[in-house]
Structure 1
Amino acid sequence: MKNIQDILKSAPKAKQRSFKKGSIIQSAGDLKTVPIYVKKGLLKSYLIDNNGKEHIYMFAPENWIIGDLEAIQYQQPAQLFIECIEDSEVIAFEKDCLFNTQLDNEQLAENAQTLYRRIGRLQRRVLMLMGATAADRYQYFLETYPELPNRVPQKMIASYLGIMPQTLSTIRKKLASPK
């Protein structure tokens, strides 16, 4: 059975690239957008509001796929920036690559399950932003990205959670203190 890396290697238009920390791979307004598989490193996608404030939409550590789905699917200008938080190696590929007809039904089903799992996580996150406490949102962040608290600055985590860094600091102190 092929894994995601095998599939991407066999994709004729897939391009492997390396980026330094701080590199912006995609900017809001870009017309040519593609899904990006993170082979090594860490990326974030975000938007900047009218007041110049950054709002993190998603983190993508190793083996995750990141992109502006609406822009990719409907050939619209990107709404999201994608930036490297660490030096990264990525594979940019065409959207149809994961659903290539050369894949057997088991491979297509596995790709679909991975996609649905990620979409489900994003849906849950949106619902939590609408009604969960900041502490519950942080707990969900830890479940979704267990390796990231030591790789991502606290202010980025706070942006992702929709809270102030001071609030996150308070939540982390409460979780660290013995009960």
Structure 2
Amino acid sequence: MHEAFFEYLKKFNCPLLSEEEKVLIKKAFIPTKLRKRQYLLQAGDQCKNFAFIVKGAMRQYSVGDKGSEHMIRLGVEGWWMGDRESWVMGTPSVYNIDAWEDTEVLLVTRPVVLELLRKTAIIGEMMRQLDERNNMANLRRLTSSISATAEKKYADFAACYPGLVERFPQHIIASYIGVTKDTLSRVKRQLLRK
């Protein structure tokens, strides 16, 4: 599983990992398998681990008063999953995170990441670039949720994340983009007619 992470790190235009850095990373990131619907995190618990998805798909969501699920994040291979606020602040999470498919992840704790930041430049560069990308994606999503039509929300989602359209069912995608399942069905029918 670690080889997938080493390949992932190449995307950040950093120098190649030394053998010493590879050993540190292998000790830091614990391979774990989750069965479909198995929780990585449940609301009310502190997020102690962040997960790098090697294989599979996961979702992060909150549950409303009436039991409806509100999708916050979706993730597949090469993506990260965890509740950053809970992980950093040590507070209980308001989110559930579970495996949508049988999933293989590499888990890392915050103290271990802080230690890696002191010992390897590549982890710091990766985190810096991920923070930049995450901030831009969050702003795009916020702007879309405030002002975009259902058609535009879905078109933007499908253009940015074509792999997610194939991996997650319509009701999850509808929740993620902030429309009803019926509205998403209508939007998809209209797009097919065009």
What interval of TM-score do these two structures reach, taking the shorter chain for normalisation?
A: 0.7 to 0.9
Deviations 1:2-53 (A, max 9, x none): 6556778733342211111111111000124321110100000000011211
Partner of 1:167: 183
Equivalent residue for 2:79? 64
The one of 103, 116, 119 equivalent to 2:120 is: 103
Residue by residue over 1:77-133, the C-alpha shift from the partner in whole angstroms, topping out at 9 and shown as x without a partner, is: 0111001111100111023627612223x6633431123202321222122112211
Counterpart in the other structure of 1:10 = 24
Normalised TM-score (structure 2): 0.81
Most deviating of 136-145 and 16-25: 136-145
- What residue ranges of structure 1 are gaps of 5+ in the alignment? none
Residue type of the alignment partner of 1:161: I
Q: Is the 8 A contact 1:36 1:90 kept in 2?
A: yes
8 Å CA contact retained: 2:59, 2:71? yes
Match runs of 1:1-179 below 5 Å: 4=8, 10-11=24-25, 12-95=27-110, 97=113, 100-104=117-121, 108-178=124-194
CA distance in 1, matches of 2:84, 2:22: 18
CA distance in 1, matches of 2:160, 2:175: 16
**Secondary structure, aligned partner of 1:101:** helix
Which residue identity lines up with residue 24 of structure 2 in the other structure?
S
Q: Within 1, Cα distance between the matches of 2:143 and 2:173?
A: 18
What is the alpha-carbon distance in structure 2 between the residues aligned to residue 4 and residue 46 of structure 1? 25
Aligned length in residues: 176
Q: TM-score, normalised by structure 1?
A: 0.88
Unaligned 5+ segments in structure 2 are 1-5, 10-16
Moved segments of 4+, more than 4 Å: 2-9
Higher helix proportion (structure 1 or 2): 2
Identical counterparts, % of pairs: 26
Root-mean-square deviation (CA, aligned residues, Å) is: 2.2
What is the letter of the counterpart of residue 140 of structure 2? Answer: R
In structure 2, relative to structure 1, the CA distance for the partners of 1:32 and 1:69 (3 Å cut) is closer
